[in-house]
Amino acid sequence: MIQYRTEHDSMGEMQVPADRYWGAQTERSRLNFPIGVGQETMPREITHAFGLLKRAAAEANHLLVPARMTEEKRQAIAQAAGEVAEGLLDDHFPLVVWQTGSGTQSNMNANEVIANRGNDIAGKKLLHPNDDVNMSQSSNDTFPTAMHIAADLALEDKVLPAVDRMIAALQKLEAENEGIVKSGRTHLQDATPIRFSQEISGWRASLQMDREMLLEAAGFVRRLAIGGTAVGTGLNAPAGFDREVCRVLSEVTGKAFVPHENKFHALTSKDELVVAHGALKALACDMMKMANDIRWLASGPRLGLGEITIPENEPGSSIMPGKVNPTQCEQVTMVAVQVMGNDTAVSVAASQGNFELNVFMPVLAYNFLQSARLLAESLDAFRERCVEGIRPNREKMAENLTRSLMLVTALNPYIGYENAAKTAKLAFAENITLKEACVKLGFLTPERFDEVFHPEEMA
């Protein structure tokens, strides 16, 4: 049987599960928003970011207003907040995304958990959630700050390392396949020759460009709203509070967090996250294209292009024995679709809110962090279980190259564009070689054709 204790807030008393550190305001939110429970809990990245933030705020308050934030209080908050940041108290954060658009209840969830856990640590009633843990802060500046902390850590510690690992894998694949010439394709039609390493280099360069954009976007995200309090004026926050919080956060995380120069902007505009998610979307677009290229090249095994082989990871059909599908390519493309959809949610959420506050922040954070998490995990799975196992089918590449009518492009300087077109059309119509067609039309002698026609040099 669940045991309860009595907690109170400015609206009165609430019965709270006795084995949980949250308090009255968290319990009100838990009861008032039974939406997506167990499925769409506030992202743990936000919970952990609040732990980092509350510790940094306590350190800053102790430096700036030590009479109010005593050493004893600082220590209790720092230890409790550290446990939150490390994920040790995740079970004490039950609230869902679909709550107040400012994230107020999630801020209070952090305040209450840290206060009650800190009181346990101190062995007495030492901390108040509002007066101590939330000192010099407002939900209106802490939630956007936690969003930015979580977003930057996701970009720098999850997405970018996964991108780097994929780039390294592609560089290795590129080197291994240097010198293999195959048919290029445009519009899903035969085109002039290309080296397989050049094709891979296009994938690699796309990810390197995405990496540059993500790094630049992370610089915008590291600008924090903390210090703006309720409407951007900094009411009830001591001078220099924002700088000290950012200093501590930077020391703890190793990231270069700085106070946003305009708190009125920081509270109401979310354009930094829009830009950062745009970079995530660009990465998703490039991964979609790369995965599609790979599954086209691996199509078959006998009736498709069949120019590469990819790892066989699991049976592909419950009815067709021996069938194997490009499942890693499929997970990448589904993740890309989700990220593209999330980008719409992020964009719409960022455009909303009125006057001094955006009130679509939880849904923005939810979609942003899902995109980052999915892309990082998708990239690693795709690399480990597909890309690193790509092998060229040299015989099929050579066969397709030899049969390509677009090799006729090499004859343009010798017989002209229109005669080259006639050569290609005759070869296709009569199912003969380009050489046979060119000689039959009288454009070149067999000897001259052999002299000028070198497909391997076209790449």
Would you please indicate which residues are annotated as catalytic (active-site) residues? 187, 317
Burial 262-287 (b: 16+ CB within 10 A, else e): ebebbbbbbebbbebbebbbbbbebb
Burial 423-451 (b: 16+ CB within 10 A, else e): bbebbeeeeeebebbbbeeebbeeeebee
Provide the pairing of β-strand 223-224 with 258-259.
Answer: parallel
CA–CA dist 220, 226 (Å, integer): 15
Residue 260 · residue 148 · CB < 8 Å: no
Residue 51 · residue 44 · CB < 8 Å: no
- How crowded is residue 11: how many other Cβ atoms within 10 Å of its Cβ? 9
Measure CA 39 to chain center: 20
Q: Helices in 65-188 by DSSP H: which ranges? A: 71-85, 104-122, 139-154, 160-176
448: helix, strand or coil: helix
Beta-bridge partners for 13: 8
Measure CA 262 to chain center: 27
Task: Give burial (CB, 10 Å; 0-12/13-18/19+) of 30.
Answer: buried
Largest CA distance in the chain: 101
Burial 337-352 (b: 16+ CB within 10 A, else e): ebbeebbebbbebbee
CA–CA dist 457, 102 (Å, integer): 62
Query: In the structure encoding, which two tokens stand for residue 209, read together?
Result: 């460009």
Of residues 226, 343, 225, the one with CA closest to residue 275: 343
Round the CA-based radius of gyration of the chain to a whole number and report it. Answer: 30
Measure CA 383 to chain center: 16
Measure CA 455 to chain center: 41
Task: Give burial (CB, 10 Å; 0-12/13-18/19+) of 231.
Answer: middle
